[in-house]
A and B are shown apart, each in its own frame.
Chain A
Amino acid sequence: MRVALFVTCINDLLHPRTGQAVVALLERLGVEVGFPDGQSCCGQPQFNTGYRHATEPLVRRFDRVFRDFDHVVTPSGSCAAMVRDNYPRIGAKAAAEGRGRELADAAAAAVPKTYELTEFLVDVLKVEDVGAYYPHTVTYHPTCHGLRMLGLGDRPRRLLERVRGLELRELPGAEECCGFGGTFAVKNAAVSAAMGADKVRNVVATGAEALCTVDNSCLLHLGTTLTRQGAAVRPVHIAEILASTEGRVW
């Protein structure tokens, strides 16, 4: 089983610790992880803003870079959903525009082997207790693309519930969007900020020490809103919780 980490551009630049946590976690579970250096961005910011053609080279690149791997694991529900939901659309549209099946074939190769981290753990490795220790109160926000596009269901919660020392606090209005939405955060800044403020109010009300999601992009918006408000809640990616052990707190 050849497993590649698709770290995503946001994690590469802004949250390298999340990528390191995925590597540590998977290696602890006996999985050998590769990191093909040619990987880049999934193309979601461009695609969701209307620049579909600008994402086409990235679809080709994804296929090429990960061709030799059986599984591609990514610590992002949103980027996994981009590959699984939108790559086939990009391929189909290119074909409809009379530009052949090349992109559709690239998408078809990428879709079945791309997994968000918690999916990979639960569905492929068939593990829910990953042997983690995280002695903190945590509230979990199910991010929209993981929840609705990937259908992650309760996989992240099942993993968190088996972390020793972790106390899960229910987040009111958990399934409401945090207001990030990529370029939405600047194109409709007032509405985005209002959504973020409401989400943060609910997070703070739980009294949890940490806010956990499967997406650092949403955490970027929520975490920077929290720090601006002076709240003490720590944003943490689920990979960093699952990677933590008594010997090594992430």
Chain B
Amino acid sequence: MSGTYLGMPAFPRAAAAATRDGRLRANLTHATHTIRDKRAAAVAELDDWAELRAAGAAVKDRTLRHLDHYLEQLEAAVTAAGGQVHWAVDADEANALVTRLVRETGEREVVKVKSMATQEIGLNDALARAGIRAYETDLAELIVQLGGDLPSHILVPAIHRNRSEIRDIFRREMAGWGRPAPEGLSDSPAELAEAARLHLREKFLSAKVGISGANFMVAETGTLVVVESEGNGRMCLTLPETLISVVGIEKVVPSWQDLEVFLQLLPRSSTAERMNPYTSTWTGTTDGDGPQTFHLVLLDNGRTDALADTVGRQALRCIRCSACLNVCPVYERAGGHAYGSPYPGPIGAILTPQLRGIGGPLEASLPYASSLCGACYEVCPVAIDIPEVLVHLRERVVQGGPVTRGGARVVLKPAKGHAAERAAMRAAAWAFDHPGALRTGERLAARTRRLHPRRLPGPGRAWSATRDLPEVPAESFRDWWQRTRRTSAAQQGGSG
């Protein structure tokens, strides 16, 4: 797999291919079930989890309602603390901005903290085109980068790789990026971690420019927050002379008191820890301590459009914990790459179509990448009703309707390829509203039941390739009731 999401097939095709990959299935099942069980235990420790979750949702909703206010407050506070704030309307603008800022330092290499926003905009590729090499320093992002691969999970981007695959990638690729893997590297986790540590240490100590995202931005003081487990983030945020942070506009929270809620919700939901090992906060610049130049790039890239959708906007509450991925039976079998964006799983299925629009075949297929089982909603620490948004987006796909794109209100046409389905759904809806016709149809199905095949041709094969067709009984319930209880039924009097 190359380092781009462009031209990826619609979800069902990519997912079907993944279900046939036994090693991928085994890696994903093992990893997601392990994290899932740990999360459940970590959450069960708190008797006020339900209240915390409600508070998290409420804080985010309030912030999103007054987003313009809090962003301007943030900008003023960051500027007052010595930082420079830039606004990027889309990925191209953000990439151009960051490229220019790096060029102005005269450096050709940057170290990166794990960041979803920079994955979303494809920053590494944009920098590479400008002759700037970006080094990922999060262990899993390093594995993905060295493997010429794409992330397949928000928290654990290399979740699709097992340790022998990682050993092979380190042995083969590390030398091309810096310090080679040690001789005779085994696949023991300790040896793999040590190899990464030695490889990355050289980058940390020589880098002059660091690039990060942020988990939160506190508006009242202009403080950015990164939570992490490995300490690579702390290195990148403190050692370089210049720090550039690319952050989605929805990451702002009003106050430190609000932040407290999320610093409880996030670690337990994502890594199942009571507290993450490293929490770095920085406010502008400080003389003689840490980066002396700080740029904050505030990224829209479809977020304002999503905010205009009264049902869909709840996706902007997301704090990127990955709990929904780890409980999702579809993600477990389809793998992260099938979702065609750095945001896989249930949250990706509602976020990607909103950020990019549902014009493309992949984006239009994502709202259907769910059985609507609701496990994602149950674990979401900010109570995003993912099934509700999925169904809402399905309506946009098949019926079209008013949406906001690029800040303008437009009326979307129904997506192509749903004509037959639309006709069938309308016919079904008509029949269900005309019980006489429904009864005739049921009787027809019952009378011809001996003729029904066991397997269907054409589109019906999607059902009958792995399942038998159900047998139609000789008599419907409706007819049985009429035959056995005609008089009492008449007395019940329900009208049609």
| A residues at B contact (CB < 8 Å) | 4, 7, 9, 11-17, 19-20, 34-41, 43, 45-55, 57-58, 61, 64-66, 68, 86, 89, 96, 144-145, 148-149, 175-177, 179-197, 220-221, 223-225, 227-228
Contacts and interface: CB of A to CB of B under 8 A. Distances in A.
Given A14-B470, A190-B16, A190-B19, A184 B374 contact: no
B375 A148 contact: yes
B11 A188 contact: yes
B371 interface: yes
Interface string B469-496: 1111101111011100100110011111
Category for how many chain B residues contact A: 35 or more
A68 B367 CA distance: 38
Given A50-B394, A189-B463, A148 B374 contact: yes
Contacts of B135: none
A103 to B, nearest CB: 14
- Of the candidates B442, B477, B494, the one having the most CB atoms from chain A within 10 angstroms of its own CB is B477
A192 B466 CA distance: 10
Contacts of A190: 12, 15-16, 19
A183 B433 CA distance: 20
Contacts of B465: 189, 193
B425 A48 contact: no
A50 B391 contact: yes
Nearest to A50: B394
A51 B429 contact: yes
A8 to B, nearest CB: 9
Interface stretch (B106-114, B284-292, B327-335): B327-335
Contact of B468 (A39, A66, A224): A224
A9 B438 CA distance: 10
Contact of A187 (B368, B432, B468): B368
Interface stretch (B139-147, B209-217, B265-273, B395-403): B395-403
A240 to B, nearest CB: 13
A64 B495 contact: yes
Contacts of B396: 50
A109 to B, nearest CB: 15
B463 A186 contact: yes
A36 B492 contact: yes
Contact of B470 (A41, A52, A58, A224): A224
B409 interface: no
30 contacts: A7-B478, A9-B432, A12-B477, A14-B472, A15-B477, A16-B473, A34-B489, A34-B492, A34-B494, A36-B494, A41-B432, A49-B421, A50-B396, A50-B397, A51-B395, A52-B395, A53-B399, A148-B374, A149-B374, A176-B375, A177-B373, A177-B375, A181-B370, A188-B330, A188-B369, A189-B462, A189-B465, A194-B25, A195-B329, A224-B468
Interface string B415-450: 000000110011011001101001000100100000
Contacts, number: 213
Given A16-B476, A48-B391, A228 B468 contact: yes
B448 to A, nearest CB: 13
Nearest to A149: B374
A185 B463 contact: yes
B66 interface: no
B321 to A, nearest CB: 19
Contacts of B370: 181, 184
A43 B477 contact: no
Nearest to B471: A14
A197 B310 CA distance: 38
Contacts of B367: 50
The 5 closest A-B pairs by CB, nearest first: A36-B494, A181-B371, A38-B496, A50-B394, A190-B16
Interface in B189-215: none
B168 interface: no
B329 A58 contact: no
B68 interface: no
B371 A177 contact: yes
Interface of B: 11-12, 15-16, 19, 25, 310, 329-330, 333-334, 367-375, 377-378, 388, 391, 394-399, 421-422, 425-426, 428-429, 432-433, 435, 438, 442, 445, 459, 462-463, 465-473, 475-478, 480-482, 485, 488-489, 492-496
B373 A144 contact: yes
Given A46-B425, A50-B391, A194-B19, A65 B371 contact: no
A225 B467 contact: yes
A229 to B, nearest CB: 9
A243 B445 CA distance: 27
A227 B468 contact: yes
A186 B462 contact: yes
Q: Most chain-A Cβ atoms within 10 A of its Cβ — which of B394, B445, B465?
A: B394
Contact of A65 (B462, B480, B494): B494
Contacts of B394: 48-50
Contacts of A20: 477, 480
Contact of B492 (A35, A144, A197, A224): A35
Q: Which of B333, B375, B493 is most buried by chain A, counting CB atoms within 10 A of its CB? A: B333
Given A224-B470, A225-B466, A46 B428 contact: yes
A126 B473 CA distance: 34
A172 to B, nearest CB: 11
Contacts of A64: 495
Given A53-B399, A58-B433, A189-B462, A48 B19 contact: no
A148 B481 contact: no
A190 B373 CA distance: 17
Contacts of B463: 185-186, 189
Given A37-B494, A61-B433, 17 more contacts: A13-B476, A37-B482, A43-B432, A48-B391, A50-B391, A53-B399, A61-B432, A148-B378, A185-B462, A186-B459, A188-B12, A189-B462, A191-B334, A193-B467, A195-B329, A223-B470, A224-B470
Nearest to A18: B477
Contacts of A144: 371-375
Contacts of B388: 89
Given A40-B435, A191-B334, A13 B442 contact: yes
Contacts of A36: 492-495
Contacts of B399: 50-53
Contacts of A181: 370-373
A27 to B, nearest CB: 11
B480 A38 contact: no
A186 B334 CA distance: 15
Contacts of A11: 477
A187 B12 contact: yes
B391 A47 contact: yes
A22 to B, nearest CB: 10
